[in-house]
Amino acid sequence: MKKALNARCGGCGNIFLIAVLPMPLEKAAQLMKRAGCPSCGETKRIFAAASTPIDESGQSAGFEPVDNSVDNGEN
Ligand SMILES: [Zn+2]
């Protein structure tokens, strides 16, 4: 199954597609380096986010953003 390699913008938190895996790691790294946020234009603070499976229709099956914040589950 193909997977979407996502990136998270350090500027606005937007998550966007960088590459579709499998792809040679060095090429994916190059894409990551060159990537700019399509939402705010940030190019420096682009971080790797979760990769997500792509279903048969070729669309990403949904983002699973990496969230470092701790959710205590308290209301
Ligand atoms: Zn952004």
The pLDDT tens digits of the residues spanning 41-75 come to: 999 999 988 788 887 665 555 555 555 565 666 66
Distance 43 CA to ligand 1 centre (A): 8
- The pTM (predicted TM-score) of the whole model is 0.66
Distance 16 CA to ligand 1 centre (A): 9
Distance 44 CA to ligand 1 centre (A): 10
Mean pLDDT on 6-34 = 93
- pLDDT of amino acid 52: 84
* Cis peptide upstream of residue 24 (ω within 30 degrees of 0): no
Token pair in block for residue 58: 């070729």
Distance 11 CA to ligand 1 centre (A): 5
Residues 6+ apart with CB under 8 A from 56: none
Say yes or no to pLDDT of 24 above 90.
yes
Say yes or no to pLDDT of 37 above 60.
yes
Q: How far apart are CA 32 and CA 26, in angstroms?
A: 10
Q: How far is CA 56 from CA 1, 3, 46, 61, 74, in A?
A: 9, 11, 28, 9, 38
